[in-house]
Amino acid sequence: MKKMVIVLLSLCVYASLLLFSVHKPSSGVSEEYMTDVGKLMPVKVKKVVKGTALSSIQEVIEEAAKKDLKISIAGKRHSMGGHTYYHDSVVLDMTGYNKILDFDKEQKTITVQSGATWDDIQQYINKHGLAIKVMQSQNIFTVGGSISVNAHGRDIREGSLISTVNSFRLLNADGDIINVSREKNKELFYLALGGYGLFGVILDVELQLTDDELYEMNTETLDYKEYNDYFKENVIHDPNVKMHLARISTAPDSFLTEMYVTNYERASGVASLQEYNELKDERLTAVSKFALGMARDFDWAKNTFWKLQKNYFLQTDGELISRNNVMRSESKFLEYEDENDNDVLQEYFVPVDAFADYIDDLRSVLSEEELNLLNITIRYVNHDEGPVLSYSDEEMFALVLLINQGLSKEDQMKTEAIVQKMIDVTLGHEGSYYLPYMPYPTKAQMLRAYPRTEEFFEKKKQYDPDERFTNFFYEEYEQ
């Protein structure tokens, strides 16, 4: 019975694996208004058009040009800073544009329309023994949305998502369809990927796949000061470790000191992938919602939950799981309908060698602030080719923070002030932060974290002089 309780409560841990938090839009927002899952920035839009065919998408572009309307591009709307809409804009909803167009098992490639989700791809390729190379820890997001933010995942042998994109087609503000790759229209490749929908509509994408594999989960605990050396000695230089994640405690009794790490190592022995490759579904949602709700409201619940989830993962030591299933995590249990608060995300990148000192400085800041911090997951971001708005030009640890905050303007201002302090700490350690969240960082912080910011916005105006494609992120940070 005790183990069952641990299993049920531990499902909440997947909250920290989201790159974008999951909530139902507030029932207080009328149909003429639009918001994202963060619920913090509802605005009136001109209309929402669901793109289901190329012709319908082209009609939106043509109408906007004739009537001088702004266009915003939306998928699942999990970016939280107004990246997917704009006041009085035409919002192009791409979720219905989701067909799988081509698949080459031998070359390990798949071409999908940009509204397809990662789950759509997994369902299609799993039976062929193939898997996705890079994606978030949830498979509910659209491909177009994910590459527009250049997402990253758990695979420490791959870089960010851009490294797996072979090519894509882009519908620009003039209504022209452009083939984009590292060889054709190369400049646009590094602008539109990680470009937050500002350079046009990504229509379809060819992705490079990899083999599905069977992994053994191995978990151990350690002190945060040991993590840097542990990672170098036991993870990054061991070719059998293919995926890795760590969590550091946000519980009051062990705040930012205790950690546990889980390595996904290539399985050895007689077990076959076929025994473990059936795609898992979500379950036990109600219990998980309840447990996370308790942790939102009570310090004792945070302490208890940290111990339970740590013990649970230690008990799973040695269990086997397929690569595709590692990339499928609980998400529905994070949906809740509280009218007064919600969960938001921040993500900070810090050089590997700076980790312990960074945690010390972060703890010093947060010990003086009132921030309802629920979870921190740590991943490794391998250096690879990056877009113009690249969040990392060296090997980094990425810390994903799940924060509960109120919806009022006062609560937002409090969170904004704390976020700016945390970003200052991150920048002080030569780190960076991720852009798909609330526009809490200052313009000066963005310029420091993203030194090619001005170049990005200049290229935006060059490729889209009428600024047809826009969103609140652009309005906030365009210089």
- The pTM for the full model equals 0.89
Domains of the chain: 2-12+213-442 (3.30.70.2520), 33-93 (3.30.43.10), 100-211 (3.30.465.10)
Spatial contact of 53 and 113, defined as CB atoms under 8 Å apart: no
* Measured distance CA(86)–CA(34) in Å, rounded: 9
| pLDDT tens-place values along the chain, 479 residues long | 444 444 444 444 433 333 333 344 433 333 477 776 666 677 788 898 898 999 999 999 999 999 999 999 987 776 677 777 678 889 899 999 999 999 999 999 999 999 999 999 999 999 999 999 998 877 888 999 999 999 888 899 988 999 999 999 999 999 999 999 999 999 999 999 999 999 999 999 999 999 999 999 999 999 999 999 999 999 999 999 999 999 999 999 999 999 999 999 999 877 899 999 999 876 555 666 677 778 888 899 999 989 988 988 888 888 999 999 998 865 554 555 566 668 889 999 999 999 999 999 999 999 999 999 999 999 999 876 789 999 988 899 999 999 998 888 899 999 999 999 999 999 999 999 999 998 899 999 999 999 999 999 999 999 999 999 998 899 999 86
Structure tokens at 405: 């905050």
By CB atoms closer than 10 A (0-12, 13-18, 19+), residue 225 is middle
Tokens of 235: 């993870």
Amino acid at 96: G
Sort residue 405 into left (φ over 0), alpha (ψ -120 to 50) or beta.
beta
- Who's near 64: CB < 8 A, 6+ residues apart? 70, 71, 90, 468
Q: DSSP for 297-360? A: H-HHHHHHHHHHHHHHHHHTTT-EEEHHHHT----GGG----SSEEEEEEEEEEEGGGHHHHHH
Residue (of 73, 81, 89) closest to 36 by Cα position:
81
Distance between CA atoms of residues 384 and 331, nearest Å: 29
